[in-house]
Amino acid sequence: MDVRAVLVMLAVLMPLLQASGQTVNINLNIGGSTGGRGTADKSQDADKVAELLKQGAELFPDTSQLETQLLDMTDTGQNMLITLLLEQNKVMQERDKEMQQQMQKMQEQIKDLTLDHCITKKTCCNKTLPACPSGYEWFCEKPDMCYKFSTKTGYKDYTDAKSACQADGGLLAMPKDKATNDFLAKQVKGRYTLSDAWIGLTDQVTKGTWVWEDGEKLGTDWNNWDTGDPTSNDDVINCAVLGSNSVWFHVSCGSAQNYICEAKATAAP
C-alpha cells in the first residue's frame, strides 16, 4: 500500500482511537531496510510523515464535532418525520369525520325513503298489518295506533263526535307530542279544505283546566295552542280543534266540526 494512503488513514483513525481511551502505538518502516541510508534521509522521511499526519488532522480536526452534527441531523430528521405523521393523522381524522357525517346523512335519507315507502305500501314495521276497528286506518308513522277521520260532511259537535268514537271502541284523538300532532295536522290538511277537526281536549269539567279524554291533565312541558289561546275571559265552555297548520284553537263545544278518533292497534288474528 502506498505510504501516503497509510498515513492518511492513520490521521483519521488516531483521533477516534484516542477518544475511546485506547493507547495508540505506531511503528513505521519506510523504504524497507535502513541500511545505507544516512541520518539526513531519515530526518527527511520523518518530516514527510509529520506533514502527512498534519494534513490528515486538518481534514478531520474534531471527530466529536462530527458526531454531534450527525446526531443533530438525526434529531432533525426524526422531528420532521414526527411532524409529518401528525399532519397526516390530522388529515385522516378530518376525513373520517366527514365520512361519518356523510354516512349519517345517507342513513337519514334511507330512513326517509323507507318511511315514504311504508306509508304508501304499508309494508313496514310488521309484515302482517295490525288489526284496527272497522273504518279505522293504520299508518306506519304511528304503528301502535289506528285512526278514523270523519267524512267531509260528517260534522258533529264535541259531544256527538266523542260518542261516535266511543261507539267504535276509541276516543277522540289526543296528540300529546309534537310528532303525533304534526302527523294528524298533515292528515287534516289533506282531507279537509280550510277546516279544523276535534281532538280530545276540553275544559268542560273545570273552566280553565284542560283535560285529555283519557283523564290526563294537559301538561306544561308541551302544547301547541295558537297565539292567544286558550282564553278564559268568557263563560263559554271550550273544546279544542286541530288546524291544518298544526296549532290548536279553542272553540265552543257546541260548534259543528270534523273529528278524529283513535284506537289502539292490536295484533292481527
- Give the CA-trace dihedral at 215, 150, 138, 167, to 10 degrees: 50
Query: Of 183, 204, 165, which Cα lies nearest the Cα of 212?
Result: 204
- Give the CA-trace dihedral at 121, 124, 129, 133, to 10 degrees: -80
pTM of the model: 0.53
Whose cell is 289533506? That residue is 190
Name residue 177's amino acid: D
Ordered by start, the domain boundaries in the chain are 137-264
**Coil/strand/helix, residue 200:** strand
Condensed to tens digits (0 to 9), the pLDDT of residues 84-131 reads 888 888 888 888 889 998 888 888 777 666 656 555 555 555 545 678
Name residue 173's amino acid: A
Max distance between CA atoms of the chain, in angstroms, equals 147
Say which CATH superfamily domain 137-264 falls into.
Mannose-Binding Protein A, subunit A (3.10.100.10)
Condensed to tens digits (0 to 9), the pLDDT of residues 129-143 reads 678 888 899 887 788
